[in-house]
Amino acid sequence: MHCASLGEFEQGRPVLEKLKEKYPEAMIIVSFFSPSGYEIRKNYALADIVCYLPLDTPANAKQFVDIIKPTLVLWIRYEFWMHYLEALKRRNIPLLLVSGLLRDPSYFAGFYNAYRRRLYDAFTHFFVQTEGSAVLFRNMGFADRVSISGDTRFDRVIEIADQFEPVAPVAAFCEGHRVLVAGSTWTEDEEELTHYVRANNNIRFIIAPHETDVENIRDVQKEFPRSVLYSELAAAGNTGILPGDINTLIIDNVGMLSRLYHYADITYVGGGFGDDGLHNILEAAVYGKPVFFGPVYDRHYEAVDMEAAGGAVSVQNALELEAKLNELWNDAVLLNQRGEAAKSYVYRNAGATEHILSYIYKNRLLTS
């Protein structure tokens, strides 16, 4: 299974783990492009090998494929490496695109159209998230190889929620308070939250920055002076009694975020105020919590759809954020309705994993 980064790994993970469950003797190799994916999942217990995919050259691709001799390859979402794809095609190795998502029709026009056709011709089947993506592949001449499976991220967040394990220091911090959890925040997101956090000492805030290096955590602490670090709270064995007027918990680690949303009454997901892209709103919505985010989200169909369903709220600036947060705090019925709408949206869109597995089993791709 090849993944660009951690997000793509999480998309492919439900399929990989179900395959391992059915074929326990199968050996699994997971490759990454990004260090952010490799460093976090290099010890992934289910894989026999976790590695970087060597640079995409004809020689590297030939050698890598000759060494591992895969029976089946899962390519997650995007990032098409021409020489690897063609090396797999030459050997007639089944190659599946999982949770594919194509947005721009012009992507298939002009000088590079023939090149892209050549790339996609290596795939045995495309499992795409949306009808729009399917149309683009059909227009390229791949109608018999494409199906709309949906996004495996829905299955993954449901699985995570079902396996929820409490985080004692966080539970103690939140006990008896209204809670807002802001996950995967960038500087632009934190700037929009700063005034509200400082003005509402009666609310408990959990800030989980996207970047957790020492320098950035120090900068976040400056933005939220009435704060404590999770590492400090956990080390002290905190029971919920905090010194002074502390109302903010800053998460200075990686890997905890999906569990933090469980403790929220309202959630905020970062990336919507900058160029980095909106982060995963499904992790928050699966717990039945309303999701707030910034104005830049049109490339994320799940954000568009969830907002239309009433489970998500997009805001343009700090003033609008404060007004809409106060509206929910003051209307328990509306707060509950938005939370239920978010959760319902996630569960309605589950099932992509089983769709993909059905194809693999029907075509006996792992029985040769």
pLDDT, tens digit (0-9, with 9 covering 90-100), for 109-118 = 554 567 778 8
Tokens of 32: 């990454």
Q: What is the rounded average pLDDT of the residues 103-112?
A: 56
What is the mean predicted confidence (pLDDT) over 79-102? Answer: 93
In a domain, 128, yes or no: yes
104 pLDDT higher than 70: no
How much is the pLDDT for 321? 98
Alpha-carbon distance of 249 to 230, in angstroms, equals 6
Q: Are residues 234 and 342 in the same domain?
A: yes
User: Where does residue 273 fall: left (phi above 0), alpha (psi -120 to 50 degrees), or beta otherwise?
Assistant: alpha
Q: Report the DSSP pairing between strands 146-148 and 125-128.
A: parallel
- 17: CATH: 3.40.50.11720
Confidence of residue 7 (pLDDT cuts 50, 70, 90): confident
307 against 115, higher pLDDT: 307
176: domain CATH number?
Answer: 3.40.50.2000
- DSSP type of residue 293: E
On the question of pLDDT at 212 being above 60, the answer is: yes
pLDDT band for position 140 (50/70/90)? confident
Please tell me whether residues 182 and 99 are part of one structural domain.
no
Report yes or no on 217 lying in a domain: yes
- What is the mean predicted confidence (pLDDT) over 10-32? 95
> How large is the average pLDDT for residues 58-75?
96
Q: Decide: 268 and 180 in contact? Cβ < 8 Å.
A: yes
Residue 228: per-residue pLDDT:
94
In total, how many domains does the chain have?
Answer: 2
> What domain range includes position 282?
163-348
Over pLDDT 70: what percentage of the chain? Answer: 95
What's the pLDDT score for residue 105?
57
Same-domain pairing of 180 and 304? yes
Please give the mean pLDDT across all residues of the chain: 92
Torsion of CA 12, 18, 20, 26, to 10 degrees: -80
44 contact partners, CB below 8 Å, separation of at least 6: 30, 50
Has residue 157 been placed in a domain?
A: no
Q: Is residue 241 part of a domain?
A: yes
Give mean pLDDT, residues 121-132.
Answer: 94
Reply yes or no on whether the pLDDT at 270 is more than 60: yes
Give the C-alpha separation, 7 to 77, whole Å.
10
**SS3 at position 343:** helix
Banded model confidence at residue 333, pLDDT cuts 50, 70, 90: very high
**Are residues 203 and 342 both part of a single domain?**
yes
Q: What is the pLDDT of residue 366?
A: 87
Q: What is the pLDDT of residue 230?
A: 95
Residue 145, both tokens? 């190889």
For residue 208, the cross-strand partners are 183
Instruction: Clarify whether residues 294 and 179 are in a common domain.
Output: yes
Q: Please tell me whether residues 91 and 213 are part of one structural domain.
A: no
Using alpha carbons, select from 253, 210, 209 the residue that is nearest to residue 231. 253
pLDDT tens-digit map of 160-199: 999 999 999 999 999 999 999 999 999 999 999 999 999 9
Same domain, 145 and 201: no
Maximum C-alpha span of the chain = 67
Q: What is the pLDDT of residue 127?
A: 97
Same domain, 35 and 146: yes
- C-alpha to C-alpha distance for 101 and 186, rounded to whole angstroms: 25
Q: Which pLDDT score, from 0 to 100, does residue 32 have?
A: 95
Residues 252 and 113 in one domain: no
If asked whether residues 20 and 106 sit together in one domain, one would say yes
Q: Tell me whether residue 158 is in a domain.
A: no
- Is residue 338 in a domain? yes
Inside any domain, residue 228: yes
3-class SS at 90? Answer: helix
Average pLDDT over residues 340-357: 97
In the predicted model, is pLDDT for residue 368 greater than 70? Answer: no
Same domain, 138 and 15: yes
Are residues 126 and 174 located together in one domain of the fold?
no
Structure tokens of 361? 């089993």
Amino acid at 361: Y
